[in-house]
Structure 1
């Protein structure tokens, strides 16, 4: 049987998918690329014309959106909520919020602190988008304000993975000071999981 292939850059959005696969116990063929692929991995264009990670290839089909890939990985496992569960739509909303609302401002910060050459880096853009992220991250704090351990469903799900990745990414950018106390405690629970640790160890090659 041919394994699903995950094209991944260390600690990039594709870490969501690697983490989800570890949590779900799904065996994958991991291909670690240099970041950003468009600069260092010209052969990757034949796999993913967008030249972004993740790239998930399964049964001849390509998926490129990290939350969608996590949803596919979670299907049929306890990482997913079923339509018959009370917080199903909240769960789905978190999956979409993870990139569209939370990771987008962090991507701008990455561009103007790591990707652009020194002369093109814009400190004001970094500060503005850090504040932008902080405002949007309040939704995590609000969801956890009732003392719940995980975001939805009374258990750890891929919602915690996709949102947890955004919060983790914020810590790598020095933006964790905009996270609330409940969010920080929840993030500690997320990154303490064996699945997260295995994923980060595995990406080292």
Structure 2
């Protein structure tokens, strides 16, 4: 077992969120680029992620999958980066709340919308779905990013990175409607040096893949 940090990704995937997180923590890492299709479905990669999807991270011999989990893991593994409120800090509750709100209700609502899934307007059905409706999810998210600079403790954290990534991507591709509160919030995030570096790395890799 070594301290090596290995990042499995594709430049046009949720791995872009993890790349940003890795650049924020400032850790040395090795990138393994996987193509969609046979490469991801190879048995050697399925041993890391049985769902044959990216991103995934291997650190100290342990595999971590699921983008929000990877962000939370990195924030705790590299506390010197200051990307999570300390254990015992009351703001850690807000940090976890919004990090996993994006991983749960936001992801589910946006995916259902993209697939054309319509939740019946009936209380029992909405209770089964969990997130209620797309409008309720977006309103809750708007409330979270309004009237404050960041989601937890008055400083940028992994929760902002994860929530902000969903808003940036969703507004760009139309899966999340543009709202002034969202745009003001992501404007504070998108030009962070680590975010810029991460985009440049993945954009360059994607361009190289297109050429080759």
Q: 1:39 to 1:135 in 2, by over 3 A?
A: farther
Alpha-carbon shift at residue 73 of structure 1 (Å): 1.0
Provide the aligned length of Structure 1 versus Structure 2: 187
Question: Residues of 2 paired with 1:192 and 1:31: CA distance?
Answer: 26
Kindly indicate whether residue 57 of structure 2 is the aligned counterpart of residue 56 of structure 1. Answer: yes
Question: Residues of 1 paired with 2:142 and 2:153: CA distance?
Answer: 16
1:102 to 97, 106, 120: 106
Contact 1:38 1:52 in 2 (8 A): no
Kindly indicate whether residue 189 of structure 2 is the aligned counterpart of residue 185 of structure 1. Answer: no
1:118-176 deviations in whole A, cap 9, x for unaligned?
xxxxxx449x9xxx545312222212322x21111101100101111111220232134
Contact 1:5 1:57 in 2 (8 A): yes
- What is the Cα-based RMSD across aligned positions, in Å? 2.5
Alignment map for 1:4-153 (pairs within 5 Å)? 4-34=5-35, 37-38=36-37, 41-43=40-42, 44-75=45-76, 76=79, 77-108=81-112, 112=115, 124-125=116-117, 132-146=133-147, 148-153=148-153
Question: Residues of 2 paired with 1:197 and 1:109: CA distance?
Answer: 29
Question: Which structure 1 residue ranges, 5 or more long, are not aligned?
Answer: 113-123
Question: Residues of 2 paired with 1:15 and 1:165: CA distance?
Answer: 9
Contact 1:8 1:54 in 2 (8 A): yes
Alpha-carbon shift at residue 91 of structure 1 (Å): 0.6
Q: Report the 3-state secondary structure (helix = DSSP H, G, I; strand = E; otherwise coil) of the residue aligned with 1:41.
A: helix
Q: 1:60 to 1:143 in 2, by over 3 A?
A: same
Q: Report the 3-state secondary structure (helix = DSSP H, G, I; strand = E; otherwise coil) of the residue aligned with 2:50.
A: coil
Contact 2:75 2:84 in 1 (8 A): yes
For residue 172 of structure 2, what is the aligned residue in structure 1?
172
Q: Report the 3-state secondary structure (helix = DSSP H, G, I; strand = E; otherwise coil) of the residue aligned with 1:5.
A: strand
